Amino acid sequence: MNMTVGVKISGTAQNPTFEFNGGNGPQNIQFNNNGHPGVVVYFKINDGGTGLRFPPNPGDALSVNQVDGNALEGPEWPGFLPLSVENNQQKLLAYCRNDVQNQQFKFTLHFDGPAGPKDWDPIGDGLNGPRGGF
């Protein structure tokens, strides 16, 4: 299953504002896998002229932490993995394993731009969980 998520950036490179286009509010996104094993997520930047882009290394473009208080060591969590940065650094591909129903997690999208690096911390919700899990 695939899912495209627009990342709308407005304001300036020094003081950007972020939101999801067509998402479930400006800070939350639900990863619906409809019973399929995981979701490939395409984050696509609509930068509004700010010049912000994903860093070229996917591991530098996304970091993750669970919301339920289970601290992670480092930015990697096997439930949500960055795969590649493409399209002139305007698209980030990630895999949301979504193997636990209703698992919330914090993730940070990292951006590079003319005013230096910027971060955005939305919340993800693994709404459906694994195949046969509902």
**Digit-coded pLDDT (tens) for 53-77:** 999 999 999 987 655 555 444 455 6
* Domain boundaries defined on the chain: 2-126
CA distance 121 to 133: 28
CA distance 67 to 83: 22
Span 80-124, pLDDT tens digits = 889 999 999 999 999 987 766 666 677 889 999 999 999 988 866
Please determine, for residue 134, whether its predicted confidence score (pLDDT) is greater than 50.
no
Sheet strands (E) in 2-122:
2-11, 16-21, 28-30, 39-46, 62-66, 80-86, 91-96, 103-111, 118-120
Collapsing DSSP to helix, strand or coil, 58 comes out as helix
Residue 10: Cβ within 10 Å count: 14
CA distance 8 to 6: 6
Cα 91 from chain centroid (whole Å): 11
Confidence at residue 48, expressed as pLDDT on a 0 to 100 scale: 84
Q: Which fold has domain 2-126?
A: Immunoglobulin-like (2.60.40)
Residue scoring higher pLDDT (14 or 75): 14
C-alpha separations of 59 from 17, 70, 107 in Å:
23, 21, 12
Q: Averaged over 4-23, what is the pLDDT?
A: 86
Span 25-48, pLDDT tens digits = 456 677 777 777 788 999 999 988
Confidence at residue 51, expressed as pLDDT on a 0 to 100 scale: 96
Q: Are 87 and 4 in contact (CB under 8 A)?
A: no
CA distance 18 to 24: 13
